[in-house]
Structure 1
Amino acid sequence: MSSDVSSPTRTTALDPAAAAPTRWLDAEEQRAWRAYMYSWMLLEDRLDRELTRETGISHAYYEILVQLSEAADRQLRMSELAERCLSSRSRLSHAVSRLEERGWVRRQVCAEDGRGQLAVLTDEGFAALEAAAPVHVEGVRSHLFDQLSPAQVAAMRDIGETVLRHLAER
């Protein structure tokens, strides 16, 4: 699917959205959208490549370790961890299996109901996260925040919080 949202690509009589007029992006909105989208994709790719090269931890695995490190008792239900990482349960389960192989995460049955599974961050996993965090933070700082003025950082926060509020409503 194309990221170009400024012009029609195709509509059919069977398409319910075709009945309502499409609110196409104007040229300035299109420039803003593409600048945001491509810069975010490039930033995420750069952070992942640097983190993987320097620490052997992909950005996706790093995020799992972060979420567990910030949870009470360093553990979360697998379903909640998947939600927090914006991952499918099957993809998360595969990633947790890889982290288990490294000794960084272990699974255990949830004591509350005996049905759910918990992902638990091990001491070794926490140590790996602590070692990787400076690499990640330096990447975020040098590739993002060092490029922005304080006013741009404030605007980025405002925009992000506005969009998050909207998306959380759905």
Structure 2
Amino acid sequence: MVLAGIAQAAVLALQATLQSDPGGTWTWGGRLAALAPAPFVLYMIWRININPYVSFEKNYFRINNIYTLYLIPYHTITVLEGRTALTLGVSGQRRIPVVAFSAALMGKRQRDAVAEELTKHRDASVEDDGIALQKHTTLGLPEAMGPFLSLALFLAAFLTSLAQ
């Protein structure tokens, strides 16, 4: 969260610097080229720092990692391991790392709290054959807008520089 705030402040400072160009030294192409990486940088900060999370649902554990969403029924979880990050062993599957920052990279205390809550839900769960592990990719059109906007700004900057 702190990194996201710092990056947003840096982007705003760059925008203010470009808009208040007293000498008129910046061309429109130069301004676009300087601002073009901003949407991509903000998108990556959102994707890596803000978007990942874990949550406890009624019948399953939801892990929204950086690019993948897992819905894991509690009764299929066989192993909880990891020293500072949480890795789940699921019956019939490979190990699933929890990359969500709320549970993975904040240290052993946070990992232990999530593992303890997960163990409670797993022990209280009833095996239900109708619920299976689900894996979904979280990349799609809305998420692609950050990189695409950056590419469009770079292209506009290039075309503007050619016209001058």
* Larger RCO: 1 or 2 (CA < 8 Å, sep 6+): 2
Report the structure, 1 or 2, having the larger strand content: 2
TM-score by length of 1: 0.35
TM-score by length of 2: 0.36
Report the structure, 1 or 2, having the larger helix content: 1
